[in-house]
């Protein structure tokens, strides 16, 4: 059978009713999206002749994997797609320049300690890890220092686990997480214990999906940033270590050209110099964060 089955009056009427098109209440935009989504799923079922058993296996996966949805989305390429879509819309609007955006990932925690000066991000010892020293500037489109920026930084520990999400329970809540308030010269500096690459929790939904696709669930070692400042567009980005074995094979598609510095490793220390450039905000909303729900320590 071909997908024209979905276009028969019987199925089209079912779709109209299921999306509430005949009801006066509800949200018209949501109705239109739900109708298209359901129709696309129906067409998918026909195109691949998905059986009842296969369909319910997929529902079971989604139900049981719901807690890992924030990991499945980057692994599926959808989170990177959102970046590519925003980039394409920017290009269409004639907006360019600045540090590339890349995925936030699921592991940010709000309200990390707000610090100034050369910040130490690591509250926990992690004795076998090198010390990472990262320095640079935050400037605007004309190269002007962005003095009242807040740089949110978060990264994994040397075992690849993030505080707050660490199944070993070994980390204090904001280990390797800070908000750094910049001085008027727009310079930032911090040091911390070197992160290792991250892998999805073994045996979890994302791991199962990756194995079924013949893929892995690993990322190169990386450091995440949000940079916010009045008048500027909030930047969501991360640097991935250019010399990591997974730098060219990131399961979450978060590595991007221009965001792959190679740490200079010297004895017990490693150094990265990296400058950020922000775009001006076109709207008040661009100065804020997306409405994504994020973890809070508590
Ligand atoms: C995932 C983990 C990360 O640390 C990240 O930056 C992006 C994605 C994940 O588990 O999917
Ligand atoms: Fe991450």
Q: Whose CA is nearest to atom 8 of ligand 1?
A: 105
Report CA(266)–ligand 2 centroid distance (Å): 25
Instruction: Output the six-digit token pair for 36.
Output: 């298209």
Looking at the CA of residue 73, tell me the nearest atom of ligand 1. 11
Detail the DSSP E strand segments found in 95-204.
109-110, 114-116, 119-120, 131-139, 150-155, 177-181, 187-193, 198-199
* Closest among 11, 62, 61, 69 to 40, alpha carbons compared: 11
pLDDT at 114: 98
pLDDT at 240: 98
According to CATH, the topology of domain 71-296 is Protocatechuate 3,4-Dioxygenase, subunit A (2.60.130)
**Pairing of the two strands 131-139 and 276-277:** parallel
pLDDT at 297: 86
With beta carbons less than 8 A apart as the criterion, state whether 80 and 74 touch.
yes
With beta carbons less than 8 A apart as the criterion, state whether 165 and 71 touch.
no
Name the closest ligand to CA 80.
1
Report CA(219)–ligand 2 centroid distance (Å): 8
**Element of type H or E holding 62:** helix 52-64
Q: Can you tell me which residue has the tokens 């009713």?
A: 17
pLDDT at 253: 98
Question: Which residues contact residue 27 at a Cβ distance below 8 angstroms, ignoring those fewer than 6 apart?
Answer: none
* CB-ligand 1 contact for 251 (6 Å cutoff): no
Domain boundaries, the chain: 3-50, 71-296
* CB-ligand 1 contact for 205 (6 Å cutoff): no
* CB-ligand 1 contact for 186 (6 Å cutoff): no
* CB-ligand 1 contact for 254 (6 Å cutoff): yes
**Dihedral-angle region of residue 171 (phi above 0 means left; psi in -120 to 50 means alpha; beta otherwise):** beta
pLDDT at 164: 96
Looking at the CA of residue 198, tell me the nearest atom of ligand 1. 4
Going from the first residue of the chain to its last (298 residues), give the mean pLDDT of each consecutive group of 10, the final group possibly shorter.
Answer: 97 98 98 98 98 98 96 98 98 97 98 96 96 98 96 98 95 97 97 97 97 98 98 98 98 98 97 98 96 91
Q: How many residues does the chain have?
A: 298
């Amino acid at each position: 059978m071909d997908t024209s089955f979905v276009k028969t009056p019987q199925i089209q009427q079912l779709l109209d009713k299921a999306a509430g098109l005949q009801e006066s209440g509800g949200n018209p935009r949501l109705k239109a999206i739900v109708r298209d989504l359901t129709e696309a799923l129906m067409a998918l079922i026909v195109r691949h002749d998905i059986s009842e058993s296969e369909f319910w296996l997929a529902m079971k996966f989604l139900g049981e994997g719901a807690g890992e949805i924030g990991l499945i989305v980057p692994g599926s390429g959808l989170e990177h797609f959102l970046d590519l879509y925003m980039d394409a819309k920017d290009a269409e609007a004639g907006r360019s320049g600045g540090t590339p955006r890349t995925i936030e990932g699921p592991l940010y925690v709000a309200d990390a300690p707000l610090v100034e000066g050369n910040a130490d991000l690591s509250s926990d010892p992690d004795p076998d890890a090198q010390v990472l020293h990262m320095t640079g500037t935050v400037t605007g489109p004309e190269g002007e220092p962005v003095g009242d920026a807040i740089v949110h930084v978060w990264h994994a520990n040397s075992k690849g686990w993030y505080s707050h999400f660490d199944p070993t329970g070994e980390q204090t809540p904001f280990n390797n997480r800070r908000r750094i308030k910049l001085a008027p010269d727009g310079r930032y500096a911090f040091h911390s214990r070197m992160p290792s690459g991250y892998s999805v929790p073994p045996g979890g939904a994302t791991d199962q999906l990756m194995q079924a696709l013949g893929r892995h669930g690993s990322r190169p070692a990386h450091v995440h940033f949000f940079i916010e400042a009045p008048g500027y567009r909030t930047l969501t980005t991360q640097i991935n270590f250019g010399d990591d074995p997974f730098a060219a094979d990131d399961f979450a598609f978060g590595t991007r050209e221009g965001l792959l510095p190679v740490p200079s490793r010297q004895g017990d220390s490693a150094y990265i110099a990296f400058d950020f450039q922000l775009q001006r905000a076109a709207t008040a909303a661009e100065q804020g964060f997306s409405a994504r729900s994020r973890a809070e320590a508590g």
